[in-house]
Amino acid sequence: MTVHPALPDTLPLFPIRGCILLPGEALPLNVFEPRYLNMVDDAMSGNGFIGMIQPRETGPRDHPDLERVGTAGRIAKHSETTDGRYLIVLVGVSRFTLTAQPHMKTPYRVGRADYTGFERDIDGPEADDPGADRAGFLALLKRFFQHAGIDADWASMDHAPLSAITGKVAMAAPFDAACKQALLQASRPCVRRELLATLMEGALEHALRGPSSGPAGRLH
């Protein structure tokens, strides 16, 4: 069921483990496999949409099971390199539930997308919660980035909405695929921010206890 006329009911699927796309965020991709070059060609000649989704660890190696929820993204930039690769930027539009994978005569997988329950995604970014502890979250983020060896433009972050910071960090932070999926499926930006804070705190606590203390935080 499509909840917005711009959203296609059928999407070409780009399964990448550990990679998520959130609504309103941009994801640069380096496309080089022939089947996905074909997928980009088809998307560019059609509605411009691609479904980003994570493969699971179950199923055949060459055709793994897929997560239930992914994100429909529209190709916003496209260029070709001299060696035949495509450099594209996908902008997330709406999450979807994968309801079926019809057999198609394409080298890539195709999925039926149901956008029910994700109506907020196409309304644009939500306003930040005025009661959110912005200073505390940014302080935690700085500690986590230092621990993970991630550079950031803190001057820009000081003025950016918390929802935008949360989305970018959720996509970029080196957590494992299960954590990434949980961040993707969080119902609202405030819930995603709370989960992200919990994951960062767990990773920092795990680092203090040492590598033999278990997988808290589950960094890659």
Note the pLDDT tens digit of each residue in 106-165: 999 999 999 999 999 987 767 677 788 999 999 999 999 998 888 888 888 888 999 999
Reported as a single tens digit per residue, the pLDDT across 184-215 is: 999 988 999 999 999 999 999 988 876 554 44
Q: In this predicted structure, what is the pLDDT of residue 1? A: 42
**Intra-chain end-to-end CA distance of the chain, in Å:** 36
The answer to whether 72 and 113 have CB atoms below 8 angstroms apart is yes
Residue 127 falls within a domain, yes or no? no
192: containing domain: 134-208
Reported as a single tens digit per residue, the pLDDT across 103-119 is: 999 999 999 999 999 99
107/69 same-domain check: yes
The model's confidence at residue 28, banded by pLDDT at 50, 70 and 90, is very high
Residue 87 falls within a domain, yes or no? yes
Reported as a single tens digit per residue, the pLDDT across 60-104 is: 988 999 999 999 999 999 999 999 999 999 999 999 999 999 999
96/21 same-domain check: yes
Record the pTM: 0.90
78/42 same-domain check: yes
According to DSSP, the residues that pair with 14 across neighbouring strands are: 52
How many domains does one find in the chain?
2
C-alpha span between 65 and 214 (Å, rounded): 27
